[in-house]
Amino acid sequence: MKDRYIDVEDLIAARATPPGISALAIVRVAGPGCVDAVSRAFSRPERLRAAEGRTLVRGALLDIRDGRPVDDLVAAVFRAPESPTGQDQVDFMTHGSPAVVAAVVDALAALGFRKALPGEFSFRAFVAGKADLVESEAIDELSRARTAQAREAALRRLGGGPSAEIARIRTEVHELLAACEVLLDYPEDEVAGNLTSRLPAARGAVEALAKLSAGHAGARLRLEGARVAVAGRTNAGKSSLFNRFLREERSIVSDEHGTTRDWIEASVDLEGIPIVLHDTAGLRSTDDRTEAEGVRRSRLLLESADLILYVVDGTVGLAEEDGEFLAERPDALPVWNKADAPGCGPVPEGFHSVSALDGRGFQDLALAMVARLPGGSGSADGLAGERQAALVEAARASLSDAIAAIGAGEPLDLVSLDLRAASDSLGELTGETASPDVLETIFTRFCVGK
C-alpha cells in the first residue's frame, strides 16, 4: 500500500540534515508512542522512556536484530503536544558520516519506523495546528533562502504576519456573507443597512489583497532569484566584469579575442537577490569550429536569461553588430566598459558606464540591474509562492466582484456566490479548506526530513 501523508499515526523516521560528511547529523522520528518504540533499541531504555519533553538523553542506539550498538548519540525528546510536529518526537543527534546515518535509519526501520515522505514532519505540524499553510511554506522557504533578505522575509512570513492579515480579511468576507444571507432570508428594509455598512471594510479588504498580490513579484525574486547573462563582442571585458561581480578571478581574462568559449556560471548576491551570473563567449562569426560552437551555445543561453548585460568596449566604440543586437533585444542592459582607459569614448545614451578594471560604476549598474528584474523594485515582504499569489488574486477578484454586484443591486444569491468563492480561495491559502490532494502536492515539494 502506498504511504500517505494522511496516515499521521504511522511511526516515521528520516535524516533531517543534508547527505554527505559532517560532524553531526540529525535523524528525526515522530508518531504516537515513538519514544517507547525507540526505547526498545536504546542502551538506557528506562531513562529514555521516562524522559520529559524537551530533554536530552545520551546513549547508544542498538540494532534490535543483533543487539549491537549502531551509534553513540544524543536523543532530544519532545512530547506531544509541545513538539515541532505536535506529536511525540525524537531528534537523534548522531555522528555525521553517511555510514552512521544509514545504519541509524536502518535500525529504526527494524523497529517499525517507515521512511518519512518529503515534508511529512511539516505536514504533521500543520495537522496539529502548529502552523497554517502559509507558515509551513515559509519554513520551506527559510531552508531555501540564499540571501539575507530572503531569509528575513521568510522569517516574517513564518512569524505569521501574512497569516494574521489573511485571517482578518477572511473574517471580513464572512461578515459580509452573513449580512447577505440575513437579507436573503428577511428581505425587509431594516436589515439592508447591515450590508451597506459593511462595504467600506470590504473595500479595505480588497485593497489589502491587492497589496499582498503586488508584493508577490518582489518576494518571489528574492527567494527564487534570477539568471543574468553577460554578453557582447569579443574582448569587450565580459569576463573581467563577471569576475568583478564574483570578487574572484574565476573566468580567464586575456587581450586575445575569443578567450571564453564554454559559458561559465556562478552565484552572486546582488542587493539581496540571489543571481546566477553567466559569462559567455564573445559574439562574432569565426572559422574556428570550437569557438563557433561556444558562440552558438551562448546565444541559446541568452534566450532563456532573465536579464542580459550587453557589454561594449568603450575604447573600440559601437559596431554595427552591437546596434543589431540591441535592436533585437531592447530588454538588454547596455554597458560601456573600460571607463578608466584614456581612449574610452563618450558614453552613448542609455549605456551604463563602468570599469571592470577599477570597479567604477558598478554600484549604479547593480541598482539598474535590480530595477530591470521583474519584482526588483518591490520589497521581499509579499507572498513568494505562485500558488499563494494565484489564490490571493482570485480572492481579490471575487470580493471585488461581490462589492460591485452589491453596488449594482444585483440579486443577493449571486453576490453570496462570489463571497463564497473569495472565502474558499483564502481558506485554501491558509490550508483551512485545502483538499488532501492540494496539501499533498504542497508538502511533497519539501525536503525529506522537513
Ligand X SMILES: Nc1nc2c(ncn2[C@@H]2O[C@H](COP(=O)(O)OP(=O)(O)OP(=O)(O)O)[C@@H](O)[C@H]2O)c(=O)[nH]1
For ligand X, the binding residue among 26, 246, 266, 357 (CB under 6 A) is 357
Segment near ligand X (CB under 6 A), from 153-161, 173-181, 197-205, 229-237? 229-237
| Residue closer to Mg ion, measured from CB, 170 or 261 | 261
66 binds, among Mg ion, ligand X, none (CB under 5 to 8 A by kind): none
List, as one string, the DSSP characters of 116-130: PPBTHHHHHHHHTTS
From the list ligand X, Mg ion, none, which binds 236 (C-beta under 5 to 8 Å, kind-based)? ligand X
Question: Is residue 254 at the binding interface for ligand X, with CB under 6 A as the rule?
Answer: yes
Query: Shortest approach of ligand X to residue 109 CB, angstroms?
Result: 53
Compute the distance between CA of residue 298 and CA of residue 300 in angstroms, rounded to an integer. 5
What does the alpha-carbon distance between residue 380 and residue 222 come to, in Å, rounded to a whole number?
A: 6
Kindly state whether residue 194 participates in binding ligand X, applying the rule CB under 6 A: no
What span, in angstroms and rounded, lies between the C-alpha atoms of 370 and 67?
59
Residue 447, binding choice from Mg ion, ligand X, none, Cβ under 5 to 8 Å by partner class? none
Report how far apart, in Å, the C-alpha atoms of 23 and of each of 19, 60, 158, 231 are. 12, 17, 29, 43
Neighbour tally for 444: CB within 10 Å: 13
When CB distances are held under 5 to 8 angstroms depending on the partner's kind, the choice from ligand X, Mg ion, none that residue 355 binds is ligand X
Cβ distance to ligand X smaller for residue 301 or 391? 301
Task: State the binding partner of 449 from Mg ion, ligand X, none, CB within 5 to 8 A by kind.
Answer: none
**For ligand X, which residue of 84, 225, 282, 385 counts as binding (CB under 6 A)?**
282
**Number of residues located near ligand X, criterion CB under 6 A:** 23
Enter the C-alpha cell of residue 141. Answer: 522557504
Of all residues in the shown chain, the one whose CB is closest to ligand X is: 282
391: which 3 cell numbers? 489564490
Cis status, amide bond into 118, omega within 30 of 0: no
Minimal distance, residue 233 CB to Mg ion, in Å = 11
Q: Quote the least distance from Cβ 250 to ligand X, whole Å.
A: 11
Residues 94, 73: contact at Cβ < 8 Å?
yes
Element (H or E) spanning 41, and its range? none
- C-beta of 317 vs 378, nearer to ligand X: 317
Give the C-alpha separation, 376 to 421, whole Å: 32
Q: Give the shortest CB-253-to-ligand X separation in angstroms.
A: 4
| Cell 571564453, located at residue | 260
Quote the CA–CA distance of 361 and 383 in Å, as a whole number.
33
Distances (CA, A) of 164 to 132, 171, 250, 387: 10, 11, 46, 18
Dig out the grid coordinates for 407 from the structure: 453596488
Residues 252-311 close enough to bind Mg ion by CB under 5 A? 259-260
Site for Mg ion, residues 181 to 240, rule: CB under 5 A: 238-239
Size of site (CB under 5 A) for Mg ion: 4
Binding-site string for ligand X from residue 120 to residue 139, where x marks contact by CB under 6 A and - marks none: --------------------
Q: What is the contact surface with Mg ion in residues (CB under 5 A)?
A: 238-239, 259-260
